[in-house]
Structure 1
Amino acid sequence: MNTPATQSPPQLTPRAIILSVVLAMILAAANTYLGLFAGLTIATAIPAAVVSMAVLRLLGGGHILENNIVQTGASAGSSIAAGVIFTVPALVILGHWTDFQYWWVLAIAGLGGILGVLFSVPLRRSLIVDQQLAFPEGKAAAEVLKAGENPASGIRVLAAASALGGLGKLIAASGLRLVPDSAAFGGFIGKGIAYMGTNLSPALLGVGYIVGLNIGIVVVAGGILSWNIAIPIYSAYFLDGNPDLAARLVGASAEDAAGAIWSAEIRYLGVGAMLIGGIWTLISLRKSLMSGIRSGLDAARAGASKVVAETEKDLPMKAVLIGLIAFTLPLAGLYHAIVQNFAVSIPMTIIMIVAGFLFSSVSAYMAGLVGSSNNPVSGITIGTILFASLVLAALMGSNAPLGPVAAIVIGAVVCCAAAVAGDNLQDLKAGYMIGATPWRQQVMLAIGAASCALVMAPVLNLLAKAYGIGVPTPDHPNPLLAPQATLMASVAKGLFGGELPWDLIWIGVAIGAAIIVCDEVLKKRGANFRTPVLAAAVGIYLPLDLTVPIFLGGLLAHLVERAAGVHNDPDAAERIHRKGVLFSAGLITGEALLGIVIAIPIVYSGSADVLSLPEFLHFGELVGLAIFAVVGWILYRVAVKGALTSSS
């Protein structure tokens, strides 16, 4: 039930701000690890809401609107992490930086995030009030806040799952090495390669549970397309045409050969699919986007001449415009520091403003349709980098050494803005459902975004030194893949005189186009199952062993729905998943945070084996699979118990 507009219960209180900032930083660090590892981040509003309710109750109360403010600011952790890790590591991968420079990362993340908040203000009325888009994570967070009479139960679930996820990371290959990180099986069939594998990460199982079976199937189908179709074909018929790669594979195992072929060639199919996916996202949303922008601006102009209820007060449009100018000027200075040419830095700034507003609107609309966890921010960013690269190539020349760097910085700011805009609308949806004041939430999200920006560079440097990021090296042969950042670096470099396997990229474009056609056919038939092209593209681009546990997590979510008898009732399915989602979020948070903790002794000692137990205590893949299966069973049992309680 909405709070009456005439009341003013506590919302933006000092304790809510402090708790929100602390949670935002922690969740930003956790999502940074997860995104570099698996190329995915998850919305953090629900675990933040549960923690807020428990902590504020210990401090002597906590109104639902105060708890909402906490989850609003804390949820910036996932959006700022996504904006940074999808782009900024590309500057290291390109060799422009040797490490993550604190003030640059702070400026990109902080300014981009705050601009995302400002860009989203005129969209709230259109997308939430007028068009009544779903915003699933915002709706779920509101339901959690409404049902917050017993947050202790939720905290116990979250804490137990976090401990289990952390234990899974501790015993794996980067910790005690009791079990390997993955289980893989491969063999040669003539000149072809047969390969199958799965990562044993509890976090990926949790990711799959949260995104659901549909996305899980599409992602793993993309992985199968790469690893079980494209790699065998390439190995059997095209490897001889690449003598350098063929020479490297002499004497290699089937698993190593498949990995090398994927890394050198096949992953570019995913690049092509992402390119067409990003372009299609913009084309398909053009009418709804322009309608949303127009109605939002009209509502903002009308608001100045009439009395507005407390539950409808956004940040004043005058303040938004002043803020845009105030935060754009420092970005113009950053761009000029890169290119040292006003004839280039000024157009860069204009591109950032136009693309930032346009793509923030796309991100907000997509978040309303499919949720923040499924929001195709990476596709949006690819489109930005492509457009920026073409403009910069015309201004600087197609072989300009700083061209890729300039394009990546533009993309990074736009990516942060777009990710935060989508997240902001999710939070505003939750606030709309419980009677919160929009401008207070907008201020809190800006504070949360700026706070997260403070910790991004130290976390990135810690992970880079402990595990490596993007590019395998002798010290880090199996780095955190940073798939989106590696892709951004490849695209930007390829458009400025670099070399890209364009034949494979064009094949990927064709595959992406076929997936889009399939999705449109399913859409016209009103099918529940869909084939979002960017989910498939991520699957094509990722190693197969990362997509399999995501699929298995989605399968568990489906089995929970069937156990509760609601697999044909989307609204009921959303309700009964609350405990499963909370447990999954705990698995993800626990593993990610312990991954960061483990990185500290690795960096301090300079040895990746610092925590390793004696070799006779290292068990094989079968033990790892057994432990992974137990984690899956526990997740299923917890979720089913919660589902049956919710559906009874």
Structure 2
Amino acid sequence: MSVIAEPAPQLTLRAILLSIVLVVILAAANTYLGLFAGMTIASAIPAAVVSMAVLRLLGGGGILENNIVQTGASAGSSIASGVIFTIPALVILGYWKEFEYQWVFAIAGLGGLLGVIFSVPLRRSLIVDQGLAFPEGKAAAEVLKTGENPKQGVKTLGIAALLGGFAKVGAASGLRLFPDTAAAAAWVGKGIAYMGTNLSPALLGVGYIVGFNIGIVCLLGAVIGWNIAIPIYSAFFIDTDPALAAQVASASAEDAAYMIWSAQIRYLGVGAMLIGGIWTLISLRSSLFSGIKSGFDATRSGSTAVIAHTEKDIPMKYIAIGLVLFTLPLLWLYQSIVHQWTASVPMTIIMIVAGFLFVSVSAYMAGLVGSSNNPVSGITISTILFAALILVLLLGRDSPIGAVAAIMIGAVVCCAACIGGDNLQDLKCGHIVGATPWKQQLMLAIGAVSSALIMAPVLNLLLHAYGVGVPTAEHPNPLLAPQANLMASVAKGIFGGELPWVTIGIGAGIGAVIIAVDSWLKASGKKFRIPVLACAIGIYLPIELMVPIFLGGLLSHIVERHFGGAKDEAHHGEIHRKGMLFSAGLITGEALMGIFIAIPIVITGRADVLALPESLHFGGWLGLLLIAFIAWLLYRYATKAEAAN
């Protein structure tokens, strides 16, 4: 039997410890960003840059060791996504007053571990056989391979993080030098004209990362909701809801627009998301089944063969054992909620089947469009809707616990799907640089559990400082938690609640039209696409959140044009590497400052504890100037990067 040489060190103690530190930071940052804007970002590239710098200071650190650090660190973003998309719904529904540590840890940790397990059989199919792009995995591999000056990379991240943090501390939750949003609204006859932009550098960074196409589509959704649907509703249909009409009649144009959006128009986004989630499953059905089959075939055929370390996954026998060990606590968790074995056992079965199915969908979508654009929210809506309909049969439509049970199933599946897509992204990076898959899979499991350990404290800090999801007297402008609000609305609507089903139906029709147009664009070979879930999130969220995302995407496009356009994917990565790092720094700095600001707010119980006197409140123009300056700096850093190569 031939002996296959072992690679350079990978899963070292220092790599594990550094990865855990980065997990905590990135999970906290993405938790804030997700609750604030409904989006999270993949963090593999900044984690890789920080790893190269830190391990070089400690003496060495090869490409495979750095790859292990970014693999574990990226789990923080994934678990944060799974948690903030679903678990705040339990607070929104009134089931919890605050986030209960042991429950959050169990849902996030076990969901994340199941995501790792479910994604193992998919590696060979999606990465080796089908060769999907996994763009963030490729980008991270390029950063690791080129050995980009980590000192310069950390400097870029640090400067951007300071700028993002400064903007956050100067805004409405900090010193109050300027508001969070610059907006203008006016009555035009019976209609309302509204436009505004959030003054957040983090959203500018998000837009740069997701790109021009997604930025346009997000803004398109917002225009549909705010500049078309709201004026039409206020002019022609407001009298169908007398209570809302009375509120709108005595409100300013800006407040009236928000009232109509909150009561009716955002549910257009719900309908579009529902149809988008269903379409995602339908469109991927053949690739999904063939991918699962070839993954198991590869596992069986490789069980007796001598294979290179670059093809060694966690053995299937351990996968089977882990599946049982991680499922039993979830069965107990569900039983403790519904107190009926006739319901808890089906809940567990639904969770396992949906988890495996949607991890496969998530992994495939991450391979196509990347983790940042992965429509996990649509996947989760589909899970909650299906679970709720089954639970209606088991518990009855008037069950007081039905909506909570559906959210609990969706939360585990969402965490699993987020980790599944991230796992394959990291394994793509490892495949390119020659890493050992089972070591990456183990590191991802460690990262998932580490992230789960800190989620509840971070969520409670944000809840007490800013409020989450539901406006209250204490927190009239809470973190929106848009996906969790959506999940709560869907689950509650199935179990005896009231939802504007006509509006949801119209939204589903809008989603169907978008799908038809996107299918035509695909068939025509057009580069520009209109992913339905990106458009739906634009309809569902306030337009001021979409404007800076669009501007960030536009800036990304301008950078490309500066260098003559991205001729291919590798060239695209070269152009945007420095800009991506700067954008990641803006996001991380603003998000971490948001968490730090929350500490004195919680301690004192005063939202204005850091506020300067009113004579030093300068209005939205100061925030606009700051955002313009940061955008200019982002452009300078992005264009300097290529010239330096």
Shorter-chain TM-score tier: over 0.9
Determine the structure 1 residue equivalent to 2:108. Answer: 109
CA contact (8 A) 1:5 1:435 kept: no
Deviates more, 1:573-582 or 1:376-385: 573-582
Counterpart residue number, 2:528: 529
Shift of 1:570: 4.1
In 1: Cα distance, 2:496 partner to 2:383 partner? 19
Measured in 2, the distance between the counterparts of 1:389 and 1:7 equals 49
Equivalents in 2 of 1:115, 1:284: separation in Å?
Answer: 24
CA 1:5–1:172 in structure 2 vs 1: closer, same or farther (change >3 Å)?
farther
Q: Distance in 2 between matches of 1:287 and 1:101?
A: 40
Q: C-alpha deviations, 1:85-114, integer Å up to 9, x for none? A: 000000000000000000000000000000
Distance 2:642 2:558 in 1: 11
SS of the residue corresponding to residue 249 of structure 2 reads coil
C-alpha deviation, 1:568, in angstroms = 5.0
Partner of 1:590: 589
Please give the alpha-carbon distance, in whole angstroms, between the structure 1 residues aligned to 2:594 and 2:387. 35
Unmatched segments (≥5 aa) in structure 2: none
Residue aligning to 2:477 = 478
Give CA deviations for 1:106-164 in whole Å, capped at 9, x if unaligned: 00000000000000000000000100000000000000011225210100000000001
Counterpart AA for 1:47: P
Instruction: Quote how far apart the aligned CAs of 1:566 are.
Output: 2.1
Counterpart of 1:135, as a letter, is F
Q: How do 1:71-470 residues align onto structure 2 when only pairs under 5 Å count? A: 71-470=70-469
1:547 aligns with 2:546: yes
Write the letter of the residue equivalent to 1:414. V
- Identical-residue share of aligned pairs (%): 72
Aligned mates of 2:49, 2:509 — CA distance in 1: 44
The one-letter amino acid of 1:585's match is: A
Distance in 1 (CA, whole Å) between partners of 2:246 and 2:4 is 72
Q: Take 1:324 and 1:308, find their aligned partners in 2: how far apart are those partners?
A: 25
Cα distance in 1 between the residues matched to 2:7 and 2:425: 22
Separation in structure 2 between the aligned mates of residue 435 and residue 482 of structure 1, nearest angstrom = 39
| Counterpart residue number, 2:614 | 615
Note the C-alpha offset of 1:344: 0.4
* Mapped partners of 1:270, 1:410: distance in 2: 22
Output one character per residue of 1:172-196: Cα deviation in whole Å (capped at 9) or x when no partner. Answer: 0000000111100110011100000
1:438 deviation in Å? 0.2
Which structure 2 residues correspond to residues 556-567 of structure 1 after superposition, within 5 A? 556-567=555-566
Cα offset for 1:573?
1.9
Q: Distance in 2 between matches of 1:568 and 1:499?
A: 51
Secondary structure of the residue that 1:133 maps to in structure 2? coil
Q: Distance in 1 between matches of 2:642 and 2:549?
A: 21
What amino acid maps onto 1:416 in structure 2? C
**Match of 1:336, as an amino acid?**
Q
Aligned counterparts of 1:424 and 1:8: Cα–Cα separation in 2: 21
CA contact (8 A) 2:217 2:531 kept: yes
Counterpart CA distance in 1 for 2:60 and 2:45 is 19
Q: Which amino acid aligns with 1:331?
A: L
CA offsets 1:346-389 (integer angstroms, 9 cap, x no match): 00000000000000000000000000000000000000001100
Distance in 1 (CA, whole Å) between partners of 2:147 and 2:24 is 24
* Residue aligning to 1:10: 9
Q: Secondary structure at the match of 1:249?
A: helix
Structure 1: gaps spanning 5 or more residues: none
Cα contact 2:566–2:575 (8 A) shared by 1? no
Taking structure 1 as the reference length, what is the TM-score of the superposition?
0.98
Task: Provide the residue aligned with 1:55 in structure 2.
Answer: 54
Deviation at 1:202, TM superposition (A): 0.1
Structure 1: distance between partners of 2:78 and 2:622: 36
Deviation at 1:569, TM superposition (A): 4.1
Deviation string 1:444-502 (CA, Å, 9 cap, x unpaired) is 00000000000000000000100000011111111100000000000000011110000
Give the deviation of 1:645 after TM superposition: 3.5
Name 1:512's counterpart in structure 2: 511
Displacement, 1:7? Answer: 3.2
- 1:603 and 2:607 are equivalent in the alignment: no
> Is the 1:558–1:567 contact (alpha carbons within 8 Å) kept by the matching residues of 2?
no
Shift in alpha-carbon separation, 1:242–1:10, aligned structure 2, 3 A: same
CA–CA distance in structure 2, aligned partners of residues 607 and 132 of structure 1 = 53
Q: Does the 8 Å contact 1:367/1:423 carry over to 2? A: yes
Q: How far has the Cα of 1:574 moved from its partner?
A: 2.3
Amino acid at match of 1:612: A
Alpha-carbon distance in 1 for matches of 2:513, 2:248: 32
How far 1:576 moved relative to its partner?
1.0
Mapped contact 1:165–1:202 kept (Cα < 8 A): yes
Q: CA deviation at 1:620?
A: 1.1
| Partner SS, residue 188 of structure 1 | strand
CA RMSD of aligned residues (A): 0.9
Distance 1:296 1:476, change over 3 A: same
1:538-569 CA deviation, whole Å, 9 max, x = no partner?
A: 00000000000000000000000000112454
Q: Distance in 1 between matches of 2:152 and 2:630?
A: 20
The structural deviation recorded for 1:6 is 1.4
Write out per-residue CA displacement over residues 252-311 of structure 1, whole angstroms, 9 at most, x where no aligned residue. 111111011101110000000000000000000000000000000001111111111111
Q: TM-score, normalised by structure 2?
A: 0.99
Paired residue total:
643
Native 8 Å contact 1:186 1:193 kept in 2: yes
Amino acid at match of 1:467: Y
- 1:57-104 Cα shifts (integer Å, max 9, x gaps): 110110110000000000001110000000000000000000000000
**In the aligned structure 2, how far is the partner of 1:347 from the partner of 1:563?**
56
Residue by residue, what CA displacement relative to the aligned partner does 1:595-641 show, whole Å, maximum 9, x if unpaired? 00000000000000000001100001112111111111111111111
Aligned-partner Cα distance in 1 for 2:391–2:626: 51
Separation of aligned partners in 1, 2:367 and 2:45 = 17
- Maintained 8 Å contact 2:45/2:139: yes
Partner SS for 2:211: helix
Alpha-carbon deviation of 1:643? 3.1
